[in-house]
Structure 1
Amino acid sequence: MTTDDANPPKPQRAIGANPERNRAHNRSLVLGLLREHGEIGRAAMARHTRLTQQAVGNIIEELLDEGLVIEMGRLRAGRGQPARQFSLNPQGPVSLGVEIAAGHLVTVFQGLTGGLRARSIVPLADTTPGPVMAALQQQIALLGAETGSPAIIGMGVVMPGPFEIEGISAVGPATLKGWAGRDPAAMIRDVTGISTVMHENDATAAAVYESLHGAGRALRDFCHVYFGVGLGLGIIHDGRPLRGAFGNAGEIGQLVLPPRDGGPAVPVEDRTSVFALWDFLRETRGPDVSDLDLLTGLDPETDPPLLAWVRQAADHLSPLLALVENLFDPETITLGGLMPRPVLNALIDHLNPLPVTVSSRQARSLSRVILGHTGPYTAALGAAAMPLLDHNTAAELRHDNRT
């Protein structure tokens, strides 16, 4: 082993640059520090970002004028004038997060500190672009009225993927008809007039939010299995989302695997997904109940047929999780999304014993599979976080603060 091998270079701190052309990047750094620290002074921001105090001061004044930041008073630390402290304004502008799924539309208004200001989930009978755009405009208006019409600084929109992949895009329960060849971000900009619209895979956005505010907050490497209508995987590696070359990393739902107890191989999401659960519930409880209503009040502990479905779903999910562990060696795998929490808890219980993989270590600080914290709004909240901060910048700063 060479000296360089034994002492690999440390990850570089995310730092700013003073030229005017990098002002947006510098603002992102300052906003990331405010989110991480809660309250922080200008001198500390300058040390973290390696910007000059004057550059930080100019950015803070801009953010104060825009209502993004508020002054929190002064912090006395030793001699001299106490330092002015600043924080993000929890009642200021909002970021809008949208999840367009097969069967429903999730819309959230997220405050700058990550708090949920307003939310809605409404069914979508038609998921082609026209009806979706009409429903989205209506929900934005309703949530705006509910929250006093705050300024919207940007929107993140997430959808199940992948698109434009022959043999994959047109199959599976999460497929959205009529979106092939369309640019969702551009369409939404045109319809809503919101200038900043970002588009992401739903499972990746869910993993980002779980990393920022949920069960993955203290982790650098974990995987998030996202139960939308179908099944997706969000991957956080070294504190950053692993998106793949074209944003399609984590497309696990259509992997064809045999169950752990033997039997024919089938696409995993055909047996372990919200769509598969809906099919089971329609067969056992009647076809006339809406999809979202079907998920209300489910508890496998008091429902033997549902518990039997959970056991079968665990048999199909277990080999998939073993594959994920061997591929990515995560600290843990989190489960979350639209699937009701009592069902997820029962699913985790019946995954045991998990197959032997690289994660089968005795000395573990976390179980191999745990419940995520953020529930059915996870992907939309992750989408809302996208315009607030550059993901790479935020992740690098968070990584630096943990070391």
Structure 2
Amino acid sequence: MPSPARRAAGANLPQVRDHNSALVLDLVRRGGAISRVELAAQSGLTAQAITKIVNRLVADGLVTEAGRIGSTGGKPRTLLRLDPTARYAVGVHLDRDDTTVVLTDLTAQKVTRRHVPQGMTADPSATLDRVADAVRAVLTDIADASRLVGVGIACPGPLDHTTGVLHRVTGLPDWDGFPLGAEAADRLGAPVTVDKDTNAAAIGQTLSSPDTPVNFAYLYHGQGIGAGLVLGGRVYRGRRTNAGEFGHQVIDLNGPPCRCGNRGCLEALCRAALDTGNPVRAAHLVGIATANLVHLLDIDHIVLGGPVVLAAAEQYMQEVATTVNALLPEPDWQRVIVGLAADRADTIATGAAALALAPLFNTSTSDDGADRAA
């Protein structure tokens, strides 16, 4: 039985209208070029409702006509498509070492990018000032800044996606409790969405490579190690936005201390291997942890990304794949494909921009811990 809050929302006609408009806009986005008849069939809305919604979207400049196609037994149908330049979004990948900022159009395609050779420092406010300057810089590449939908910021977790507040980021104690979303929105005067870098990476992967399966894990290996999980075509965050803390699974109870306070975490073991100049050992350890993930979720596709991976991409990928398949009880039946991120440099930043666009297409949710991946 629905909760009272859900019934109230369902009866609120302005919200229903907005929901239907977002639904139709998303169908246009996914269809590429689609007719009103197809929109009615796919949405379940009446032809009259579709006409009203489309007229509003055209008046707002979001949708344009894209020619006509023949129709059996009737007049030709007018096709509709998005105008990619109608709106823009900014995606920020705020890493520990550096910052990447991209400007995308309405279809999340990159228009321009900026790279800042500084990332998350001990001073959150000073870091955010640099981020704000980089965002303003990319916005100079569009003539009308009022077309900005919002800004998405992807950074290491743990954090609260719903409030934009960071928690105890490993190695950066001054960021604990920092209201990144609110502070960034105040500086930029625009809506800001904050999410973990690995979740944004998973979304960016589906945008860069549409044939990516609906069930996969994006594993990021930089200073930290994390996972973005896509299950059934949706990003899974967990109830506290804490899913995917892949680097803090304990591999060796007697292992070295980790900055999180435990011992023998995957992240600590990999750091020790890299510090001794043994990247193959680090990739092998990630392969062991990945096999655990496959056992747990029964996923069959792993995407690798991050600076450590890209430093020796083919070697790293081969070691992870070999280790994973060696540890599966029936590798021929439970085969796992290991690949590299489609857009190696900007996957996370592009995914962050898609987070900012999501409300426009009603592709985000707040009650089930997941977002549609693309």
TM-score bucket (shorter structure): 0.7 to 0.9
Aligned twin of 2:339:
370
Q: Deviations over 1:277-327 (max 9, x none)?
A: 6x67xxxxxxxxxxxxxxxxxxxxxxxxxxx63312122212111111111
Q: Deviation above 6 Å: which 4+ runs of structure 1?
A: 262-265, 393-398
- Aligned pairs, how many? 344
3-state SS of 2:38 partner: helix
Cα distance in 1 for partners of 2:273, 2:64 equals 47
3-state SS of 1:376 partner: coil
Q: Deviations over 1:346-382 (max 9, x none)?
A: 1011232435555844257x74322121223222211
Aligned twin of 2:184:
188
Cα distance in 2 for partners of 1:176, 1:341 equals 24
3-state SS of 2:248 partner: coil
3-state SS of 1:74 partner: strand
Q: Where does the alignment leave 5 or more consecutive residues of structure 2 unmatched?
A: 1-9, 161-165, 257-262
- Aligned residues of 1:160 and 1:202 also touching (Cα < 8 A): yes
Aligned twin of 1:61:
55
What's the TM-score, normalizing by structure 1?
Answer: 0.75
Aligned twin of 1:335:
304
Aligned twin of 1:236:
230
The two structures, once aligned, show a CA RMSD in angstroms of: 3.2
Aligned twin of 1:391:
363
Q: Does 1:32 align with 2:26?
A: yes
Match of 1:200 among 195, 204, 207: 195
Cα distance in 2 for partners of 1:84, 1:17 equals 33
3-state SS of 2:242 partner: coil
Q: Where does the alignment leave 5 or more consecutive residues of structure 1 unmatched?
A: 1-15, 281-307, 399-403
Structure 1 residue 213 displacement after superposition: 3.2
Cα distance in 1 for partners of 2:356, 2:242 equals 20
Match of 1:157 among 147, 153, 156: 153
Aligned twin of 1:5:
none
- Aligned residues of 1:335 and 1:369 also touching (Cα < 8 A): yes
Structure 1 residue 71 displacement after superposition: 1.7
Aligned twin of 2:267:
269
3-state SS of 1:373 partner: coil
Q: Calculate percent identity across the aligned residue pairs.
A: 29
3-state SS of 1:354 partner: helix
Cα distance in 2 for partners of 1:370, 1:397 equals 18
Aligned twin of 1:292:
none
Structure 1 residue 38 displacement after superposition: 0.9
Structure 1 residue 89 displacement after superposition: 1.5
- Aligned residues of 1:100 and 1:157 also touching (Cα < 8 A): yes
Over 3 Å counting, the alpha-carbon distance change for 1:396 and 1:141 in structure 2 is: closer
Over 3 Å counting, the alpha-carbon distance change for 1:257 and 1:339 in structure 2 is: same
Q: Which amino acid is the alignment partner of residue 179 of structure 2?
A: D
3-state SS of 1:156 partner: strand
Q: Does 1:220 align with 2:205?
A: no
Cα distance in 2 for partners of 1:229, 1:47 equals 48
Over 3 Å counting, the alpha-carbon distance change for 1:18 and 1:336 in structure 2 is: same
Structure 1 residue 276 displacement after superposition: 7.8
- Aligned residues of 1:76 and 1:82 also touching (Cα < 8 A): yes
Cα distance in 1 for partners of 2:233, 2:11 equals 22
Aligned twin of 2:123:
128
- Aligned residues of 1:310 and 1:346 also touching (Cα < 8 A): no
What's the TM-score, normalizing by structure 2?
Answer: 0.81
Aligned twin of 1:4:
none
